[in-house]
Amino acid sequence: MTAAKARAQFSIERTYPASVEDAWALWTSKQGIESWWGPEGFAVTVEQMDLRPGGALTYLMTAVAPEQVAFMQRAGMPLSTPCRITFTELTAPTRLAYTTLTDFVPGVEPYEVATVVELKPAPEGVRMVITFDAMHDEIWTERARAGHESQLRKLDAIMAVRS
């Protein structure tokens, strides 16, 4: 028997002038998630949040900016999409992990993508490191990275206002 090939990963790091607890709240509360989750031009409405290993965050992601609405309409895609992540680890207030089912890529069998969020005290406030599984190929991995960077720009703006 051979070991499974390790999945490639990529990480994104940020440091914010905030406490670990404040950053944790933005990742683990309805109000926090709705304030920044999803790429720019999209809004998120949390439908359920069960913060335990095996629990889920279910939310509706809706295109709200004119450019995103027009793109979705041209592509024949719905403006709102139901989404779900399943928590695999929660160690308050420093670490959470979850999986997301990737079931939207034409011609590719659905597969799970793991994400780990680590929050650590730093001299400047809190250091956040998010590690993602790579997607099935380089093009989709770069699309995922761009989407995560877009989403984190929203978090950056919230943290800037709070500091």
* 3 inside domain: no
- Amino acid at residue number 100: T
Task: Fill in the DSSP letter of residue 163.
Answer: -
The position carrying tokens 């949390």 is: 46
pLDDT, residue 71, reads 87
pLDDT, residue 5, reads 58
Cβ–Cβ contacts within 10 Å for residue 76, how many? 6
Our count of domains for the chain comes to 1
* 2 inside domain: no
* 119 inside domain: yes
Q: Which residues contact 143 (CB under 8 A, 6 or more apart)?
A: 135
User: Cis ω on the peptide bond leading into residue 93 (within 30° of 0)?
Assistant: yes
pLDDT, residue 105, reads 81
| Tokens of residue 60, six digits | 């509706």
* 70 inside domain: yes
For residue 148, what are the domain limits?
9-162
Mean pLDDT in order along the chain per 10 residues (163 residues) = 68 96 97 95 97 97 95 88 95 98 86 97 96 93 92 94 79
* 13 inside domain: yes
* 59 inside domain: yes
CATH of residue 37: 3.30.530.20
CA distances from 19 to 23, 90, 126, 158 (A): 6, 18, 6, 14
Q: Among 3, 31, 10, 43, which residue's Cα sits nearest to residue 151?
A: 43
